[in-house]
Structure 1
Amino acid sequence: MERELDSILKVNDLFCGAGGMGLGFKYAGFRLAGAWDFDKWAVESYGQNVSPKVKLSDITNMTFDELPYADVWTFGFPCQDISVAGKQAGMIKNKTRSGLFYEVMRLLDETRTNKPTNLPKIILAENVKAVSKYLAEIEREYELAGYKMYSIMYNSKFWGVPQNRERYFIVGVREDLSSVFKFPKQDESYVPKLSTVLEDDVPDKYFISSEKAKAIIDQALKRIDKLDQVHATITPDRVNKRQNGRRAKENEQEMFTLTSQDLHGIIYLANCNPSGRDMNGKVYFEEGISPTLTTNKGEGIKVMVTGGYSQKRGFTPSDISNTSDASYYKGLGCNQTRAAVMELAPEYRVRKLTPREYARLQGFPESFEFTVSDSQLYKQFGNAVTVGVAYAIAASIKGFLLGADAMYGDYKEELT
C-alpha cells in the first residue's frame, strides 16, 4: 500500500544510452531507480549527466533481482535489425540485436515468477518507424507478460526540435490497472528552424576540404536542371547506390530525395516545385529542419554555410534569389536558380554538424557535459530518444498513475 500512495514515481531505464529517455522522465518528476547499457561510453555520459546509478551491463546476463522496484520500465531496444537503413535481419529472439526485446520480456517473466510485487505498472518501448511490422508480435508479448498495449508514432519536429525523426512509442499498462492510457497530442502547427540549433564560431575541423566542397557544389550544379521537384542533390556515389541498390525506385525523382544515409554532403538549391511530394523537412539549410540523426560520426548531415565575413550564416533561399524576401525564391525557375548559385557558390563552405548541434537536435540541455570523443557523441545522440518526446510521454504516464491529467513539471529543471 505504501508504494500505491508514494507520489514520487520511479523508473528503470534499460538500453539507457546517453540518457534521452532518462532525462525526459527526470524532468517529469520521476526518480531514476536504475539504468543499464552495454556501451561503456554511453554509461559514462549517462553517469555524468543523468544519474550515477547507471551500470554497464549486458541485458542477456541480467536477472530479475538486479532490477529495483520501479513504477515504469523503459527500453529503447536496438533498431539496427529493423530500420530500413540497417541490416533488416528482423526481431529474432536470441539471434539479432533487435531481438533483445525478448530479454526484457524474460526479465518481466522472472519478476512475475519470483518477486511479483516488483512488477512495473507501465512498460515503455521505443523504436524506429519500421517497427510497425512487428507491432502485432510486440502486442502478443505484452499480453503474455500481463500488459495491455498502446502505441503511437511521433515526429520529433513537432516536439521542439528541428529534426525529422519518426519513432514509435509502445506503452504497456499492467492488466490490473483498469484505466485507459492516453498519449499526449503532438502540436503540428509549428516546427522550429535549423538555425535555432546552429553554433557560432565552429572550429575548422568540422569543415570539409575546399576540394571536396567544390566537388559537391559542381555536382549539384550539373544536376539541378534535371531535379525539378527535388530540393537538393547528392553526390555521385550515393546516386549510384540509389539507382542500383536494393531501395532503387521506378520514380527517378524519389532517388534524389535525401535520407540520413547520404553520407557525403549536400547542397540546398531551391524548391522549384513547392508542391512536390514528401519534400518538406528534407533540406539542410538554416530555414529548414534536419533529417533523422544517425550514428555515423556526424558524416551523414552537412550544412552549407557562407565563407568570408560571415561563414556561420546558412545557405538560404534569400541568398540564392538575392532578395530579403525568402518567399521570392518560389517564383524562380530552375535555370534562374542555377545562375544564382553559380554566382554565389564560391562564397560558401560545407561543414558537418557539431556534437553540440546534434545534442540540441535531440533536445539535450546546454548543461549536458561532453566527456567522451566526438565520434562517441555522434553515436550517442544519433541513438538517443528525443528528450522533449520522452518528457511529454513521462508526464502523461505520471498523470495516469496518479489519477490526474498529464502532469507537466519544469522541463528544464535539473532534478536530483
Structure 2
Amino acid sequence: MKKNKIVAEFFAGIGLMRAGLERAGWATVLANDIDPIKRRLYLNHFKGSTDHFVLEDIHKLSADSIPNVDLATASFPCTDLSLAGRRAGLQGKHSSAFWGFVDILNGMGNRKPPFILLENVAGFLTSNKGEDFYSALSALNNLGYAVDAFIVDAVHFVPQSRVRLFIVGQLRDESKVEVRQDLTETDIRPTKLVKFINEHPQIRWCVNTNLPDLPDVNNNLKKIIDKVSKSSSLWWNADRVSYLLNQTFERHYSKILELKDAKNYAYLTAFRRVRDGKSMAEIRFDGIAGCLRTPKGGSARQILLEVGKGEVNIRLLTPSECAKLMGADDFTLSGTANEALFGFGDAVCVPVVTWIAEHYLNPGIENLHKKKKTDELYVATT
C-alpha cells in the first residue's frame, strides 16, 4: 500500500467508507464518529484501530489534532435532508454537523487535504429548493476547493437500489473554473443535477467528464440470500405471513400467487408503508432490494419473501444479507441484530466508494504528485 494515499474519515460509522477506500489502496489514519455503538462495531472489524478512532462530536474536535492527509471524507447525517427529516436542511439538528466538517478544514489552514469526498442522500440536491446544496458548495469554494458532484445508484454494483449524491472537492489556485456549456445528462449526472450545475456558474466547478460509465446492472437478490433452515424461528408463522399478504395491493397479491406455482423460488422484498392512513406492504418484483434504512421504527426493517414451489415464506433480512447488500460481504458481524442493521443502513456502499477511488481519486492524487515532482525539479534546476 502506497504511503502517499492517506485519508481521514469523518462520520465514520462502522467503517464502510474505509473499506471501500482500502480496496483502492488507501490507508486510514484517523476516524471520527459520535456514536459509541458504531465505534464498537468498527473496532471489532478493523482490529488495531483504537489509537486512531476518535469518539467525539465533530464540533468539539480540534483542527490541530487532525494529521496531514491526502483526502478527508464526510458522510454527514442525512436526517434533515430527507423527507423523513421534514427537510430541516443544513440548519437541522443532525445535518448541521456538515458545518463542523467545514470548521475542521478551515482550522487546518495550509494543511487542508488536497481532496475531499462528501456523501449524502440525493435529496441534498433539492433540500430547501437547492439552497442547502448551494450553501454547502459555496462554503467549500471559500475554503479553496473547486467542486464536482455526481449521483450513483448502488444497484450497479449490488442488488440494492441505493441512490446517493457525492461531492468531490479539489484544492485549486485558479480564481475561476469554467463549466463546459455543453454539459449534458449522463448516468451519474441526471437532468436535475446538470441543470443545477449549468445554472450556477458562480460556483467554482471542476466537473470531471472523463469518468467511465457505471457497470451494467446484473444483480439479483438470489446472490445474497442466506441459507436459513425452514425450521428456523426467523421464518414467520402462517398467521404472520397471512397478515402481511392481506396488507398487499391486489395486483401485488395476484403476482405473488402466480409466482407461488413456479418450480423455483423467486425472492422479493417489501417495506411497510402508510397509504391513506392504512398500513400497506409494498412489494418489489425486480429481484432488487429497496434502500436499506436504519431500523428506528417497525416499518424500517426490510422484509424478504421467498415465493415458489407452492410456498410463500417470509422473514426479515438478516444482518449478513444486509452486509452483502452493502458490498461488505467480509464484514465482521457483531453486536445485536438491530445494532448491525443500524450500522449498515446508515453507511455507504463499499464497491461504489471503490469505483470513485479508482476512477476519480486515485488518478487525481497521481496527477497531483506528478505536478509536485515537476515543480520540485523546476525549482532545483533554476
- What range is the shorter-chain TM-score in? 0.7 to 0.9
Counting only pairs closer than 5 Å after superposition, residues 126-165 of structure 1 correspond to structure 2 as 126-133=119-126, 134-158=132-156, 160-165=157-162
Alignment partner of 1:48 out of 44, 50, 59:
44
Q: What's 1:403 paired with?
A: 367
* 1:75 shift after superposition: 0.3
Q: Deviations over 1:57-99 (max 9, x none)?
A: 111111101211111000000000111233321111xx52101
Alignment TM-score, normalising by the size of structure 2: 0.74
Q: Figure out how many residues of one structure are paired with residues of the other and give that number.
A: 314
Q: What's 2:79 paired with?
A: 80
CA distance change for structure 1 residues 237 and 32 in 2, over 3 Å: closer, same or farther?
A: closer
> 1:23, 1:50 within 8 Å by CA — same for their partners in 2?
no
CA distance change for structure 1 residues 237 and 294 in 2, over 3 Å: closer, same or farther?
A: closer
CA distance change for structure 1 residues 237 and 25 in 2, over 3 Å: closer, same or farther?
A: closer
Q: What's 2:113 paired with?
A: 120
* 1:166 shift after superposition: 0.5
CA distance change for structure 1 residues 237 and 386 in 2, over 3 Å: closer, same or farther?
A: closer
* 1:401 shift after superposition: 1.1
Q: Distance in 2 between matches of 1:171 and 1:142?
A: 10
Q: Distance in 1 between matches of 2:115 and 2:63?
A: 16
Counting only pairs closer than 5 Å after superposition, residues 376-391 of structure 1 correspond to structure 2 as 376-391=339-354
Q: Which has the higher contact order (CA 8 A, sep 6+)?
A: 1
Counting only pairs closer than 5 Å after superposition, residues 188-227 of structure 1 correspond to structure 2 as 189-201=216-228, 204-220=232-248, 222=250
Q: Which runs of 4+ in 1 moved over 4 A?
A: 177-181, 221-227, 231-237
SS at match of 2:320: helix
Counting only pairs closer than 5 Å after superposition, residues 324-403 of structure 1 correspond to structure 2 as 344=310, 347-366=311-330, 368-395=331-358, 396-403=360-367
CA distance change for structure 1 residues 224 and 57 in 2, over 3 Å: closer, same or farther?
A: closer
Q: Deviations over 1:9-31 (max 9, x none)?
A: 10000000111111111111111
Q: Distance in 2 between matches of 1:100 and 1:155?
A: 24
* 1:355 shift after superposition: 0.2
Q: Distance in 1 between matches of 2:145 and 2:270?
A: 45
Q: What's 2:101 paired with?
A: 104
> 2:11, 2:75 within 8 Å by CA — same for their partners in 1?
yes
SS at match of 1:135: helix
Q: Distance in 2 between matches of 1:235 and 1:376?
A: 19
CA distance change for structure 1 residues 55 and 349 in 2, over 3 Å: closer, same or farther?
A: same
> 2:149, 2:207 within 8 Å by CA — same for their partners in 1?
no
Counting only pairs closer than 5 Å after superposition, residues 265-280 of structure 1 correspond to structure 2 as 265-266=281-282, 268=283
SS at match of 2:87: coil
CA distance change for structure 1 residues 176 and 370 in 2, over 3 Å: closer, same or farther?
A: same
Unaligned runs of 5+ in 2: 127-131, 178-204, 260-267, 369-382
Alignment partner of 2:28 out of 26, 32, 41:
32
Q: Distance in 2 between matches of 1:154 and 1:233?
A: 21
CA distance change for structure 1 residues 119 and 220 in 2, over 3 Å: closer, same or farther?
A: closer
> 2:75, 2:118 within 8 Å by CA — same for their partners in 1?
yes
Counting only pairs closer than 5 Å after superposition, residues 10-25 of structure 1 correspond to structure 2 as 10-25=6-21
Q: Distance in 2 between matches of 1:234 and 1:49?
A: 30
* 1:140 shift after superposition: 0.5
Report the identity percentage: 25
**1:89 and 2:88 aligned:** yes
SS at match of 1:349: strand
* 1:223 shift after superposition: 5.7
CA distance change for structure 1 residues 372 and 88 in 2, over 3 Å: closer, same or farther?
A: same
> 2:76, 2:97 within 8 Å by CA — same for their partners in 1?
yes
Q: What's 1:302 paired with?
A: 303
- Range with bigger deviation, 52-61 or 12-21: 52-61
Structure in which a larger fraction of residues adopt strand: 2
* 1:111 shift after superposition: 1.2
Q: Distance in 2 between matches of 1:300 and 1:11?
A: 33
> 2:147, 2:206 within 8 Å by CA — same for their partners in 1?
no
> 1:220, 1:233 within 8 Å by CA — same for their partners in 2?
no
Unaligned runs of 5+ in 1: 1-5, 243-261, 269-282, 306-314, 323-343, 405-416
- Range with bigger deviation, 163-172 or 176-185: 176-185
* 1:157 shift after superposition: 0.3
Alignment partner of 1:240 out of 276, 285, 288:
276
Alignment TM-score, normalising by the size of structure 1: 0.69
SS at match of 1:25: helix
Q: What's 2:380 paired with?
A: none
> 2:147, 2:169 within 8 Å by CA — same for their partners in 1?
yes
SS at match of 1:85: helix
Q: Distance in 1 between matches of 2:275 and 2:223?
A: 30
* 1:180 shift after superposition: 5.2
> 1:75, 1:126 within 8 Å by CA — same for their partners in 2?
yes
Q: Distance in 2 between matches of 1:132 and 1:155?
A: 15
Q: Which amino acid aligns with 2:93?
A: T
Q: Distance in 2 between matches of 1:150 and 1:164?
A: 23
Q: What's 1:9 paired with?
A: 5
CA distance change for structure 1 residues 98 and 360 in 2, over 3 Å: closer, same or farther?
A: same
